[in-house]
Amino acid sequence: MCAKKDIHDTSHITYESLLEGNKQFIEDTLKLDPHYFEKLANGQKPPVLWIGCADSRVPANQITNTAPGEIFVHRNIANMVIHSDMNMLSVLDYAVNVLKVKHVIVTGHYGCGGVIAAMSNQQYGLIDNWLRHIKDVYRLHADELDAMEDTQKRTDRLVELNVVENVYNLCKTSIVQNAWANGQELGVHGWVYSLSTGIIGDMNVSTYNNENMDNVFRFK
């Protein structure tokens, strides 16, 4: 009987082992489908753009049981949608206007290191400029968060609120609003993933238009 591998033990992973792993992946895949890579190379038509955290424990395809080619992915620290982030905006523009995805999902996760760091007064370096956006989310919801005495519950709630605010930030972009104005089918959603249970929670903030947005953010 094989012993279970400790997922926290990464001592077996080396530069060379990654390349060997690739060879094994190819061999195993071709056994199941000899034409797999030929079909994959023909192009992509994913219906979903995933904006998630860079945390290695939250792989989009694995936790949604989807295959390569089915989810277009952008990841950064704490799944942020920042209006001046040209990387994120370029991915969003390509996904919406070229790939014509039907859903954009902001996915956070409980135990997010970026959120935890943003809740502290400690300096971490360059990333402090990025974490400030999460601190702004805290400021917007300070009354609710400060009333929570349990630190864990407060952290979990900020994870959720960070997802909600970044869904709203997505809706503010000209990319998403122009897609809606042109009659494109596009839903924007917010999820939070639990590392301890594997369950994805829907934050129930899905929207398919800008009707509920503050007027100042609405484009004609």
Please say if 55 is a catalytic residue.
yes
Please say if 109 is a catalytic residue.
yes
Determine the Cα angle at 201 with ends 169 and 212, to 5°: 35
Q: Which of 74, 103, 109, 133 is catalytic?
A: 109
Query: What are the structure tokens assigned to 23, written together?
Result: 């060879």
Query: Is 203 buried (19+), middle (13-18) or exposed (0-12) by CB count in 10 A?
Result: middle
DSSP for residue 204? S
Please say if 53 is a catalytic residue.
yes
CA R_g for the chain: 20
Q: Which of 55, 74, 133, 189 is catalytic?
A: 55
Q: Which of 75, 103, 112, 133 is catalytic?
A: 112
Beta-bridge mates of residue 189 = 105
Q: Which of 33, 57, 136, 202 is catalytic?
A: 57
Q: Are strands 187-193 and 200-202 parallel, antiparallel or unpaired?
A: antiparallel
User: 157 by DSSP, 3-state: which?
Assistant: helix
Residues 6+ apart with CB under 8 A from 89: 83, 173, 175
Catalytic positions, please?
53, 55, 57, 109, 112
